[in-house]
Structure 1
Amino acid sequence: MKGLFWFRHDLRIADNPALVALSRRCNKALMVYVIDPDWFRPTNHHSKHLGRFREEFLYQSLRALERELKKRKQRLVVKVGNPLVVIPELCKKHQIDLVSVTDHPGVYERQQVAYLMRTLPCEVSVSESFTLYLQSQLNFDKTTLPPTFSQFRKHIERKNILPCIPISAPDSLPAFIDERRDLWGGQEFVYDLSPYHGGEDAGSVQLNQFFWKTYGLKNYKQTRNGFDGWQFSSRLSAWLANGSLSPRIVAAELDNVEYRHGRSESTEAMFAELLWREYFQWMMHCHGAKMFAFGGIKDKRPLTTYYSEHYKAWEQGTTEFPIVNACMRQLNQTGYMSNRGRQIVASCLVNELGVDWRFGAAYFEQQLIDFDVAANYGNWQYLAGVGADPRGQRHFNLEKQAKEYDPDGTFVERWANASASESLLKY
């Protein structure tokens, strides 16, 4: 039996049920990743889907995946084009019997799988591993999904719903089917993403470092609102976003920490962050395209519009608010911004500058090394008052935020003289 595995947001070997399913049924297989040229074209909101930081992180992750596949006598075939053209062409050319893919809550990702299931003459098998829980465990739709995170969390706790246990990597993979690779990732990047490095091994190392080696997890409750540095947060979001790391592996490791050292405020805070990620995934799953709508899932149109001069000042970090400028310049030069920083700059764009939140969300999509479609758009709707926040629009006092989280002005001072535009400086 011939199979085709389509890697998307699951760039790993471990805890990959779709890969295990294919390996058990096929004796020959293609392992494919498709780079869509549309990712690099500006959208209606003036930003691209894939900016330079995440592009390099993606290429690093693909190279790491290729190395892991080679160890198992397989190879990664990277193609460039529309996946809904590329995948059917490969299936026809190689007479594929089974296409295996991991489910993802993204609107386009689900549409793509639905199209393949309708049009391909072969079987399309869909497995779940991007979320902590299975659809059968939660069984939410847009009418039954809890309207707030607090209610979602209480539902999980009340029913004692446990995250799925991660599964091992397959013992062996089917023999490879020979197929030409397209050129990919050949350009020279003259900046360094370190300490970030894409790939399954790098994600596992960071998990081990933060949970065990450096004891970062021990103080997470106290440090998580930091702005700068590497250790104040787990920094796992980038690997979780492209699937180099499974959220179920993170949850299992967290459970292991609590088993050995006991539960603490910091371990509870870390699990709460995993649950926030989970909640946004199910929001995307249930509400679909409404996650991108101006009025959000509430159908509540905010009193904002598009002011080009306000947006440009925000984007380049040249507003009248030093804390916002520091955060935006950090983002433009590193591809990262802390969770606290993201809330502050989002509140500023919507409230102080009166700009349509979707332009901010699109810019984050382009710039963030850890962009996750559900978490990004869910958080922006939350701040704009059109999402899952029971209090309505969140309006931060920027001066108070700066005094509370950057009391000595170190963060603002560090980034005050940084270039306002995207930089090629080493992180």
Structure 2
Amino acid sequence: MTTRGIYFFSNDLRLHDNALLTQAADEVDELICLYIDDTLLPSTRYRPEPWSTKRQTFHEASLAALESQLANLGQMLWRYQARSLQQLNALISHLEINLAYVSKQVGWFEQQVLHQIANNAPQLSWKIGNNHTLWREEDLPFKLSDLPASFTEFRKKVEPLAIKSPLIKLNNLPKPMHVQSDKFSLSRQNQVSQSNELFIGGEQAGLTHLRQYFDSRAPSYYKTVRNELDGWGNSTKFSPWLANGCLSAKQILTELNNFERHHGANESTYWIYFELLWREYFQWYGHRHQQQLFTFTGIKKQSPLTSLYPERFAKWCQGQTPYPLVNACMKQLNQTGYMSNRGRQIVASCLVNELQIDWRYGARYFEQQLIDYDVASNWGNWQYLAGVGADPRGQRHFDLTKQTQLFDPKGKFIEKWQGQCDLPLDSVDGADWPC
């Protein structure tokens, strides 16, 4: 009997270190590779926000690169673009597929999509992988329900754990299943022009950047420059490829370990590992807390003293607040799809504390704009800063004058991104009367 499988690509757009795809290659005779365009599916409460052009371009390029790699192995990448899952269920039935493979999802919306598929295709046997984390859930030294309440406690528990080496690139895949694409709303990925982009999407581009970074001396002084607001070499810049699954955390850690063996370990190289653990913590934080990742009261179930002021929020998004450093950071985000970690903390603190706006609006705007958007890291970090998440200190409030003095004392960053603005914060009062 022929064993047929379907592989749902999601947060794992790569062939290197893809244990789940390797498993599929070993277990099935025929395989269809599919990516679901979830932005076309019906709206729900936790549906992802529409993407900015920058984020869309990077992601489309990552899909195009994946399709090219699959084609080299005789496979193809199909995209499902219907507005419901009905035709996908018909496809699974038509092809008599028995096995389904998918990487574990943090996003609540993405989980519900998969649950719908499973409910309508009970003949499928599901294989769930951990393609986005350093460890599998069963490797953790605690039950997921007992996830430590703070990062520090988590770090102390997991640092002694061994990490398996990343898998090499797949060289063989099962033969593809041929389908009538127009009958099932399937399409193929077109090539995407990225000639003017700062970040180039796709696995090969990510691997090239990974090699170039660790071939340089930058890891040895990373900690001293990581808070800079601008500059390509002042942070690792792995996050866009990591968020889209073009690189795995294990690949980065392996290269880091190789660098330390050849050039020595120091506080800066440790800090790269430290920040990979921060990411790891938020992945499991998202799996642990599910819908609470998106709720106003967060995991602490306490309401911040904030609301929505539409004019203030619009000015924050556009970089037109009374705070030049915040404006510069937001304009950088809008133009590039990227912002430094320090910049993200500064603008988030401003939204919550100075502008007194519900933190979820900021999280959703980041979801739209960031090319390195990661559901767990984004929403977990926003909760952390708003005082409803994993921060034991409670709400974080950054002194914007001090932050400007520390990280842009000569005003060069503000000048570059045109952060000065003479507009008042409010032109109407709480009842929408002109001020």
Shorter-chain TM-score above 0.5: yes
In the alignment, which residue of structure 2 is the partner of 1:211?
214
In the alignment, which residue of structure 2 is the partner of 1:164?
164
- For the 8 Å contact 1:40–1:51, the answer to whether it is kept is no
Q: Using the TM superposition, give the Cα deviation of residue 202 of structure 1 relative to its aligned residue in structure 2, in angstroms.
A: 0.4
CA deviations on 1:106-131 (whole Å, 9 max, x unpaired) are: 22333333444444212221121210
In the alignment, which residue of structure 2 is the partner of 1:359?
361
The 1:96–1:192 alpha-carbon spacing in structure 2 relative to 1, beyond 3 Å, is: same
Q: Using the TM superposition, give the Cα deviation of residue 262 of structure 1 relative to its aligned residue in structure 2, in angstroms.
A: 2.0
Structure 1 unaligned regions, length at least 5: 421-427
- For the 8 Å contact 1:291–1:297, the answer to whether it is kept is yes
In the alignment, which residue of structure 2 is the partner of 1:275?
277
Between 1:124-133 and 1:276-285, the stretch displaced more is 124-133
Q: Distance in 1 between matches of 2:157 and 2:363?
A: 29
> Once superposed, which parts of structure 1, at least 4 consecutive aligned residues long, lie more than 6 Å away?
43-47, 184-189, 417-420
CA deviations on 1:149-207 (whole Å, 9 max, x unpaired) are: 111111113xx112232112333101111232745666987x85523111110010111
For 2:409, the aligned partner's letter is: P
The 1:257–1:46 alpha-carbon spacing in structure 2 relative to 1, beyond 3 Å, is: closer
Count how many residue pairs are aligned between Structure 1 and Structure 2. Answer: 415
Structure 2 unaligned regions, length at least 5: 423-435
In the alignment, which residue of structure 2 is the partner of 1:305?
307
Of residues 329, 347, 350 in structure 2, which corresponds to 1:348? 350
Partner of 1:298, secondary structure, is: coil
In the alignment, which residue of structure 2 is the partner of 1:102?
103
Partner of 2:34, secondary structure, is: strand
Q: Distance in 2 between matches of 1:236 and 1:11?
A: 15
The 1:84–1:218 alpha-carbon spacing in structure 2 relative to 1, beyond 3 Å, is: farther
Between the aligned residues of both structures, percent identity stands at 43
Task: Provide TM-score, normalisation by structure 1.
Answer: 0.91
- For the 8 Å contact 1:53–1:193, the answer to whether it is kept is no
In the alignment, which residue of structure 1 is the partner of 2:222?
220
In the alignment, which residue of structure 1 is the partner of 2:177?
177
In the alignment, which residue of structure 2 is the partner of 1:198?
201
For 2:210, the aligned partner's letter is: L
For 1:150, the aligned partner's letter is: T
In the alignment, which residue of structure 2 is the partner of 1:112?
113
CA deviations on 1:69-121 (whole Å, 9 max, x unpaired) are: 11111111122135744542221121112111111222233333344444421
- For the 8 Å contact 1:45–1:358, the answer to whether it is kept is no
- For the 8 Å contact 2:308–2:358, the answer to whether it is kept is yes
For 2:311, the aligned partner's letter is: E
For 1:13, the aligned partner's letter is: L
Q: Distance in 2 between matches of 1:356 and 1:34?
A: 31
Q: Distance in 2 between matches of 1:205 and 1:150?
A: 32
In the alignment, which residue of structure 1 is the partner of 2:373?
371
In the alignment, which residue of structure 2 is the partner of 1:423?
none
If you compute each CA radius of gyration, which structure gives the higher value, 1 or 2? 2
In the alignment, which residue of structure 2 is the partner of 1:425?
none
Q: Distance in 2 between matches of 1:40 and 1:53?
A: 24
Between 1:112-121 and 1:367-376, the stretch displaced more is 112-121
- For the 8 Å contact 1:49–1:362, the answer to whether it is kept is no
In the alignment, which residue of structure 2 is the partner of 1:12?
14
Q: Distance in 2 between matches of 1:376 and 1:222?
A: 24
Q: Distance in 2 between matches of 1:395 and 1:192?
A: 39
- For the 8 Å contact 1:141–1:286, the answer to whether it is kept is no
Partner of 1:248, secondary structure, is: helix
Partner of 1:238, secondary structure, is: helix
CA deviations on 1:252-287 (whole Å, 9 max, x unpaired) are: 111111222221111111001100000000100000
